Amino acid sequence: MILHVPHASRIIPREVRTTLLLNDKELEDELDEMTDTNTDSLARQASGLSEVRPWIFNNLLSRLVVDPERFPDNREIMNQIGMGVVYHRTSQGLKLREIDEGRDNSLIEEYFEPYSKSLETLVQSLITTMGSVTIVDVHSYRINEHPNGVNRGLRRPDICLGTDAFHTPEWLDGAAYRAFETAGLVIRNEPYAGTYIPLAFYEKNSDVTSVMMENREDNLIGLRFDKSVQALVRLINEIQARGNATNN
């Protein structure tokens, strides 16, 4: 299995920073809003405590460079608010970049496509050797909704469990719910819905299963962080146990 951590980094390469319209203070504020702080630590600690360590696939660059979890075409609903693969607007609705199709295509070619290809290669190698792979998509979100969003007015529980009709089978949905409810109130697909699947396998290969763990930011502080770690450990161990039973 793989723990996917796409939004934990605040790093922006210098050549990308020069294209952003925010001043340094505005950029720091936006990174505070858009970075899934502590999700890399959550994945790392849970992996270390698990009976069998999963892979961790961690995005080392900020989502303000490119967002690896967006569809790179018109299927992406976040295009409506300027936050598709390449963001043009901030979480507050401010202009982040000028619209420039050539620059956007270059960013996709340099950052989005290699990231996607690397993860696809890892997933395919695990399918080849193990027969199947489960991705746990590890995120966090803010207590208050952003002004620039498509999911306005929804509940914001301790943990949002994101599922997909094709790639989240009942056993995985149930295992995730049981594990995550030990860390707080769990609601499925609210305020965020779905979970990440590499595009090469999306709605094509049911051997790739996935579920999303969206932690509200206050659920990753102090003792609540420890509960979230243990919840993720429970899920990892159950997935691994199921895989061992299936292989045997």
Categorize the per-residue pLDDT at 247 as very low, low, confident or very high, splitting at 50, 70 and 90.
low
Position 108 scores a pLDDT of 98
Overall average pLDDT of the 12-39 stretch: 98
**Residue 69, burial from CB neighbour count under 10 angstroms (0-12, 13-18, 19+):** buried
Residue of 80, 86, 82 lying closest to 64 (CA atoms)? 86
Position 156 scores a pLDDT of 97
pLDDT at 243 over 90: no
Categorize the per-residue pLDDT at 245 as very low, low, confident or very high, splitting at 50, 70 and 90.
low
pLDDT at 91 over 70: yes
Overall average pLDDT of the 46-56 stretch: 97
Question: CA–CA distance from 163 to each of 26, 33, 78, 115, 142 (Å)?
Answer: 34, 24, 18, 22, 20
Query: Which tens digits make up the pLDDT trace of 95-135?
Result: 999 999 999 999 999 999 999 999 999 999 999 999 999 99
Position 246 scores a pLDDT of 66
Position 248 scores a pLDDT of 55
Position 28 scores a pLDDT of 98
pLDDT at 194 over 60: yes
Q: What is the secondary structure of the chain as a DSSP string?
A: -EEEE-S------HHHHTT--S-HHHHHHHHHHHS-TTHHHHHHHHHHHSSSPPEEEE--S-TTT--TTS-SSTT-GGGGGTBSSSBSB-TTS-B-S---HHHHHHHIIIIIHHHHHHHHHHHHHHHHHHS-EEEEEEEEE-SS--SS-SSTT----SEEEE--TTT--HHHHHHHHHHHGGGS-EEETSSS------TTTTTT-TTEEEEEEEEEGGGGSHHHHHHHHHHHHHHHHHHHHHHHHHH-
Categorize the per-residue pLDDT at 151 as very low, low, confident or very high, splitting at 50, 70 and 90.
confident
Overall average pLDDT of the 204-218 stretch: 98
pLDDT at 60 over 70: yes
How far apart (Å, rounded) are the C-alpha atoms in residues 76 and 242? 33
pLDDT at 55 over 80: yes
